[in-house]
Amino acid sequence: MRQRIKRWIRFGFILCLFFLFSGVFVFALSIAPIWGDAVLCIEVRSHHGDQVDVSVPLSLVGTVFNVMPKELRQLCKDMNVTPASITDELAKMRGKDLVRVTSKDENVRVYIGEGMTAQGFVKVHVREGGRHGHNIHVWIPRGLISFSGQVINLLGIVDKHVELPPEISHLRVVKGSEITQS
């Protein structure tokens, strides 16, 4: 009888370890970088030598949708705009500039780049004052941002404390019959 109890305890212990490692493995996969994921890249260059680079994986579009105010989510729903549709359209634009502004003081470029540079991280690099200035590098795991978005969504912080700007608070979806009446 004692050996049978020891076997059951050993079996239970092994089963608990299996579930623990399975849970850790699934969690690690959920926050792991998506290799080859397209990245939204923002580059700002000043002629004084200041430089700011930001890389954000497009896979975070879903997190942004989760933390948008209710009115914007409803507007997107009415227009049949989903995170997947936005990600797919932006991924088709790899290597192309979305915005490029060149002036005598600054150059700004926003484009869709390859995912291997960010590897599932939001990357921010700031260099001030040319070669000899300060360098700041910040790498934030995509999983941490997704987790924060889920917490914000569950707590309802955005809908309680975020007020939409007046420029977009009046937006609504127009039906086809309303367009022809004008």
The better pLDDT of the pair 26, 100 is held by 100
Return the exposure string of 148-170: e unless at least 16 CB atoms fall within 10 Å of the residue's CB, then b.
ebeeebeeeebeeeeeeeeeeee
The token pair that represents 159 in the structure block: 């809908």
Does the pLDDT value for residue 168 go beyond 70? yes
**Choice among 20-34, 78-92, 106-120, 136-150 with the minimum mean pLDDT:** 20-34
- Residue keyed to tokens 């260099």: 127
Per-residue pLDDT tens digits for 36-89: 567 888 899 888 888 888 888 887 888 888 888 888 888 888 888 888 888 888
Instruction: Give the C-alpha separation, 93 to 58, whole Å.
Output: 12
Read off the pLDDT band of 33 (50, 70, 90).
Answer: very low
Q: Which long-range contacts (CB under 8 A, 24 or more apart) does 18-25 make?
A: none
User: What is the mean pLDDT of the segment spanning 149-153?
Assistant: 81
Local confidence band at 118 (pLDDT 50, 70, 90 cut-offs): low
DSSP percent split of the chain into helix, strand, coil, nearest 5: 50, 25, 25
What is the pLDDT, as a whole number, of residue 35? 44
Q: Is residue 131 classed exposed, middle or buried when 0-12, 13-18 and 19+ CB atoms within 10 A define those classes?
A: exposed
